[in-house]
Amino acid sequence: MTETEASPRRRPSMLDVAETAGVSKAAVSKVIRNAYGVSPAMRERVEAAIRELGYRPSIAARSMRGASFTLGFEIPQLANDFFTQVMQGAADELAGSGYQLFVAPAVGDVQGAPVLQALRDRRVDGIVAISPDAAPEWLEQLGVEVPLVLLGRHDPSRSYDTVTSDDAAGARLAMAHLIELGHRDIAHLTVDASPQVPEELLPHTRRLHAYTEAMRQIGAQACVVSGGPLELQARDAAWELLSGPGRPTAVFAANDTLAIGTLRARAELGLNADELSVVGYDNIDLASHPLISLTTVDQRGHETGAIATRLLLDRIRTGRAEAHHEVIAPALRVRGSTRPPEEQQPG
Amino acid sequence: MTETEASPRRRPSMLDVAETAGVSKAAVSKVIRNAYGVSPAMRERVEAAIRELGYRPSIAARSMRGASFTLGFEIPQLANDFFTQVMQGAADELAGSGYQLFVAPAVGDVQGAPVLQALRDRRVDGIVAISPDAAPEWLEQLGVEVPLVLLGRHDPSRSYDTVTSDDAAGARLAMAHLIELGHRDIAHLTVDASPQVPEELLPHTRRLHAYTEAMRQIGAQACVVSGGPLELQARDAAWELLSGPGRPTAVFAANDTLAIGTLRARAELGLNADELSVVGYDNIDLASHPLISLTTVDQRGHETGAIATRLLLDRIRTGRAEAHHEVIAPALRVRGSTRPPEEQQPG
DNA sequence: ATGAAAGCGCTAACAG
DNA sequence: CTGTTAGCGCTTTCAT
């Protein structure tokens, strides 16, 4: 009486499938890749064996020769609903494509390059990145090695694609709106920029320049406050700006998260929209909430993510090498957070 | 004159490093793994070669024998700030550990199990998951194959750890608060539950039961509305609830995203906190914003993520097999969204 | 149309 | 302490 060998409960490998189906590994490989040159009969038997064994190919092993069927998405900050919106757009576009999306958040001072490296080390088939502080030359090199799309960069890149809002135009929209309402004392709240990257390539510095230019045109004094990217950091920065003397009548915040932080400070200081107008940039979902009602510049995050994904898949599937540069036209969304300035108080 | 061979610009492999350093691959392997048994001299030479070549180990190849140094985090929904908060906690805890965190968002109807499979196929070293609709037996099997921690599950699991809020206690806190304020017409807004999972294992159904029980105790009629998990879906559900006859004086929403949606409907219908109190669950950052000021139950998302990560690393590093079940004590945060009900209007 | 065999880049025995 | 030798599970020529 022969003992049935206790099955080691090992994950079935391609060899197991091949043996159960009575064919070669190569045949199994062709079937799972839908490769050319398999008879219907063979396909039938192999698929039956796969089902019977509950076989799943090891992506790790596949990655060594072929594709990993994995796309990496690097984001610099988790607590920013705009990025969530972009990711959602990317994820939706990817549905049913056979690719799995992995989001690699930058955390602490592990920003940009190291995260992109981590993605690359894991042999992802393509990368979408929002890396405001990666140097263009470095990205150019990465783009040669792996299909790459950058969001929110105005780089005239050759090896990677870009998708970005027309930030100068968007910022002009915001400023024109405030100025038309009658504001002249307009402050700008932005985030500290990386020294690694030429100024003109980044959204925040472009918006800043448009702000400065607009102020110059109306002959007003520019006032720029800059700090961290988190809502509470923006609150702190705004608090300082608003509680001091010579408080502005309006704040143009470089993105919606900063704007929400400004609204927090405004409310905490007992001010309302008549006393301080606030404009943001992004049009996150929350901006349309009636309790927030934030005037902002729409840069269609969901669509941005979808476009980026399409560009990436195109690069992967067709091997395209020429860079594409998509620019999203911004649109102003006027809501309750902006009002004409109050009548000047008599001295 | 010998032509210099055009270097194929291939990524340097371990063999290249070994040759440049004049040692064996095994030696290089030991160095990069900080393994036992390398002389300082050897380490020196190998590290020099690594620097010279700009060598980076292929994680794909490492994954086939050893570890992938990658942790997977599955979340069911991107547009929920509570999940973001948990992810942030996990990411912070992981900083400097040498592990890279990959977030795999569920998208469309690709929820739970398929996403976890995708993670497993890629040989991640461990998984943190928020899978409200994965069957316990299935998870039990997965837990045998890979270190696994589930968030927001009350499963008496044997192969995986769980971290969860004491949802019944938290919901009781919320209900007691409303009842103490004088409310009796309290509706509950929740999300549709998966039929795959026993009710008593999920946060939302636990909260629902606590609600029903509280209503029974005060002899009031329960009113439960259920819909999708998105803020705008909650807005729609709440709109229906609030615009019909017999409008409740308070809504207990099963999470903060639903509560924010309820606040949206409330404001759109021209109602304020005196006319409708709203309580949420999670205490997302936005809840403390003065323009939202949402009374809610704090379940410390950041800490939840950190604890989950610690449990996972412990499983990975020590090989622990016994399951741990952490319960987070909830705390009520009273804010402006809850008030005593208005005086009854005369018929 | 199918299969044998050689790797992909690494880790893990084991031998020296 | 160091190097040799097998694989890990797949893809890919290249025969047949």
B79, B110, B285 member nearest A231 (Cβ):
B285
Q: Mind giving me the DSSP string for B277-297?
A: EEEEEE--GGGGSTTT--EEE
C1'-nearest nucleotide to the CA of B35: C11
What percentage of chain A exceeds 70 in pLDDT?
A: 96
What is the tens place of the pLDDT at every residue in A44-72?
A: 999 999 999 999 999 999 999 889 999 99
Mean pLDDT by runs of 10 across the 347 residues of chain B is 47 92 92 88 92 94 92 96 97 92 87 92 96 94 96 97 98 98 98 86 96 98 96 97 94 98 98 97 98 98 98 95 97 98 64
How far, CA to CA in Å, does A4 sit from each of A1, A13, A17?
A: 9, 21, 20
pLDDT of residue B46: 93
The first and second tokens of residue B43, run together, are 């380490």
Under 8 Å CB pairs connecting chains A and B tally to 136
pLDDT of residue B230: 96
What is the tens place of the pLDDT at every residue in A222-264?
A: 999 999 999 999 999 999 999 988 899 999 999 999 999 999 9
CB B165 within 8 A of CB B151: no
C1'-nearest nucleotide to the CA of B58: C9
Q: CB of A135 within 8 Å of any CB in chain B?
A: no
CA distance A164 to chain B (A): 22
**Residue A6 pLDDT level (bands cut at 50, 70, 90):** very low
At CA A220, angle to CA A215 and CA A225, rounded to 5?
Answer: 65
pTM of the model: 0.94
Closest-CA residue of A relative to B269 is A290
Between helices A40-53 and A14-21, what is the axis angle to 10°? 120
pLDDT of residue B272: 96
CB B306 within 8 A of CB B92: yes
CA distance A200 to chain B (A): 30
- The continuous run of DSSP H or E covering B32 comes out as helix B25-32
Q: B161 forms bridges with which residues in the sheet?
A: B149
Query: Minimal CA–CA distance to B281: which of B261, B304, B302, B258?
Result: B258
pLDDT of residue A183: 98
Q: How much is the CA Rg of chain B, to the nearest whole Å?
A: 26
Count of C-beta atoms within a 10 Å radius of residue A123:
23
Contacts of B78 in chain A (CB under 8 A): 84, 87-88, 91
Tokens 């001295």 — which residue? Answer: A347
Report, in ranges, which bases of strand C sit under 7 Å from a protein C-beta.
1-13
pLDDT of residue A291: 98
Question: What are the phi and psi torsion angles at B105 (to 5°)?
Answer: -80, 140
Question: What are the phi and psi torsion angles at B161 (to 5°)?
Answer: -90, 160
pLDDT of residue B7: 46
Q: CA B41, C1' D3: Å apart?
A: 16
Given a cut of 60, whether residue A4 has pLDDT beyond it is: no
Closest-CA residue of B relative to A57 is B121
What is the tens place of the pLDDT at every residue in A107-120?
A: 877 788 999 999 99
Which single residue has its CA nearest the C1' atom of nucleotide D2? B27
Count of C-beta atoms within a 10 Å radius of residue B246:
9
pLDDT of residue B80: 96
Report, in ranges, which bases of strand D sit under 7 Å from a protein C-beta.
1-13
Q: CB of A226 within 8 Å of any CB in chain B?
A: no
Q: CA B321, C1' D10: Å apart?
A: 30
Query: Minimal CA–CA distance to B238: which of A284, A289, A88?
Result: A289
Q: CA B62, C1' D3: Å apart?
A: 20
Whether any strand D atom is under 7 angstroms from the Cβ of B100: the reply reads no
CA gap B280, B258 in Å, rounded:
7
pLDDT of residue B140: 96
Q: Mind giving me the DSSP string for A155-187?
A: ---SSSEEEEE-HHHHHHHHHHHHHHHT---EE
Q: Which of A32, A56, A59 to mutate to test the interface with B (most CBs of B within 10 A)?
A: A59
Question: What are the phi and psi torsion angles at A134 (to 5°)?
Answer: -90, 140
pLDDT of residue A347: 39
User: What's the burial of A233, exposed, middle or buried (CB within 10 Å: 0-12/13-18/19+)?
Assistant: middle
Q: CB of A142 within 8 Å of any CB in chain B?
A: no
Count of C-beta atoms within a 10 Å radius of residue B342:
11
At CA A324, angle to CA A318 and CA A327, rounded to 5?
Answer: 140
pLDDT of residue B3: 37
CA distance B347 to chain A (A): 31
What is the distance of C-alpha B98 from the center of its chain?
21
Question: What are the phi and psi torsion angles at B141 (to 5°)?
Answer: -65, -45
Closest-CA residue of A relative to B92 is A107
Whether any strand D atom is under 7 angstroms from the Cβ of A66: the reply reads yes
Between helices B256-268 and B81-94, what is the axis angle to 10°? 150
Query: Minimal CA–CA distance to B336: which of B276, B299, B292?
Result: B292
pLDDT of residue B345: 53
- Cβ within 8 Å of B, A 21-40: none
Whether any strand D atom is under 7 angstroms from the Cβ of B39: the reply reads yes
Closest-CA residue of B relative to A287 is B264
CA gap B277, B293 in Å, rounded:
11
Between helices A231-243 and A256-268, what is the axis angle to 10°? 50
| Alpha helix (H) residue ranges in B122-222 | 136-145, 167-181, 203-217
Q: CB of B257 within 8 Å of any CB in chain A?
A: no
Residues 6+ apart with CB under 8 A from B279: B174, B177, B178, B250, B251, B252, B253, B259, B294, B295, B296, B297, B337, B338
Contacts of A122 in chain B (CB under 8 A): 59-60, 68, 70, 100, 122
CA gap A91, B109 in Å, rounded:
12
Q: CB of A118 within 8 Å of any CB in chain B?
A: yes
Residues 6+ apart with CB under 8 A from B89: B301, B302, B303, B304, B305, B306, B308, B309
pLDDT of residue B96: 87
**Residue A8 pLDDT level (bands cut at 50, 70, 90):** very low
pLDDT of residue B43: 92
What is the tens place of the pLDDT at every residue in A186-229?
A: 999 999 987 888 888 999 999 999 999 999 999 999 999 999 99
Q: B103 forms bridges with which residues in the sheet?
A: A103, B73
Lowest mean per-residue pLDDT among A4-8, A14-18, B189-193, B322-326: A4-8
Closest-CA residue of B relative to A270 is B290
Q: CB of B102 within 8 Å of any CB in chain A?
A: yes
Question: Half-sphere exposure (CA, 13 Å, Cβ side) for B200?
Answer: 2
Average pLDDT for A279-301 = 98
Tokens 């263009």 — which residue? Answer: A136
pLDDT of residue B295: 98
pLDDT of residue A9: 66
